[in-house]
Amino acid sequence: MLKGECHCGSISWQFDSVPDGATACNCTICRRYGALWIYGHEGVDVHVSGQTAFYERGKALEFHYCPKCACITHWRAKRLEPDGKRRLAVNVRLSDPSTVEHLPIDHFDGFDSFDDLPRDGKTVKHYWF
């Protein structure tokens, strides 16, 4: 289980699965946020507590943040998947570094090709600096 919280502690999340990596995306919004995402499903293996505000990006995603300290906490799919679950990704940068530093970085080209790119051997620890 992994946990994360915003800077002021008003918003927290719990991730009950074991992620196989954290995604760094270069799309027009993720590169601005600098978030590293781990993925699950709302209320199944990812639980968020606290009142967030959000920025709605098109018809697909809501990017949630703390209205007090402005930390980006997670994104939430606007549509349910065919199995009735809702996709949700949390920002692993809100975790204690020692609990996530070992996770390999997955690169996603959300700007141009929408392809998963090969791993380069970096982990979350490399992204703290």
3-state secondary structure of 24: strand
* pLDDT tops 80 at residue 129: no
Q: How far apart are CA 60 and CA 123, in angstroms?
A: 28
- The sign of the torsion formed by the CA atoms of 30, 33, 38, 39 equals negative
Q: What is the mean pLDDT of residues 3-9?
A: 98
Q: What is the mean pLDDT of residues 73-90?
A: 97
* pLDDT tops 80 at residue 13: yes
Q: pLDDT at position 25, please?
A: 95
The domains of the chain, with CATH numbers, are 2-128 (2.170.150.70)
Between CA 98 and CA 108, with CA 102 as vertex, the angle to 5 degrees is 120
Q: Which residues pair with 104 in a beta bridge?
A: 123
pLDDT tens per residue across span 105-119 = 999 999 999 999 999
pLDDT tens per residue across span 45-75 = 999 999 999 999 889 999 999 999 999 999 9
Listed residue (2, 27, 26, 23) closest to 12, CA to CA: 2
* pLDDT tops 90 at residue 76: yes
Mean pLDDT of the chain: 96
